[in-house]
Amino acid sequence: MSDWTEPKTVLRRYLQESRQALLLKLEGLGERDLRLPRTPTGTNLLGIVKHCLNVEIGYFGPAFGREWPSPDEIVSGQALDADPQADWYATADETATGITDLYRRVWTFADETIEALPLDAPGRVPWWSERHRDVTLQQILVHVIAELARHAGQADIVREHIDGAAGRRSPGDNLPDLDWAQYRDRLTALAETFRA
């Protein structure tokens, strides 16, 4: 995947970068920290990954006529009907290692769909409105890249709140060398000048 003039190559590279960025945010944390809700709506790192693996299975599987070979490993439509957040948290029977291993297998499954089909291959997303259900592989690739990037951004913020780790590929790799407490204090002071 080195020809940057080939659209599919570019899309696959951005997809893979988003996947890897997401899993990076789990590194070095234990089960409790990965599962603990960090927002008022219960967002947690392991749940973000579980959601993303189910997203990829749906968009690169049934939307293009392929089924995941082990349906018991993923969150079913019936499970989501019973609990609409079922793909946003790990159950007591699931482990971080199991979910990350499953996600890596999902990458292989999704990549097989991407490799086998041209970008203009037709697909159908049954859970979208009738007007938007008919899609192409290119549309789905862009959609999934955008969704994964959004969730990787959520994971960035959640991880920073857990232990201060920030950075795109490794802690601090894309951040300036600053006194972050001083920087935050400066921004707080600036914001306070707008107090009503």
Rounded CA separation 174/167 (Å): 6
Query: Contact 135/58 with Cβ under 8 angstroms?
Result: no
- Tokens 């997303």 belong to 125
**What pLDDT score was predicted for residue 77?**
87
pLDDT block averages, 10 residues each, the chain of length 196: 81 96 95 96 97 97 96 90 95 97 98 98 96 98 98 95 80 77 90 91
- Tokens 């893979």 belong to 16
Rounded CA separation 158/33 (Å): 10
**Domains recognised in the chain with CATH numbers:** 7-192 (1.20.120.450)
**What pLDDT score was predicted for residue 1?**
45
**What pLDDT score was predicted for residue 165?**
84
Rounded CA separation 186/182 (Å): 6
**What pLDDT score was predicted for residue 166?**
82
CA-based nearest residue to 70, from 117, 125, 109: 109
**What pLDDT score was predicted for residue 26?**
96
Helix (H, G, I), strand (E, B) or coil at 5: coil
Q: ∠ CA 112-113-114 to the nearest 5 degrees?
A: 90
**What pLDDT score was predicted for residue 177?**
83
**What pLDDT score was predicted for residue 184?**
87
**What pLDDT score was predicted for residue 2?**
60
What pTM did the predictor assign?
0.91
Query: Contact 187/180 with Cβ under 8 angstroms?
Result: no
Helix (H, G, I), strand (E, B) or coil at 136: strand
Q: What does the DSSP 8-state code read for residue 184?
A: H
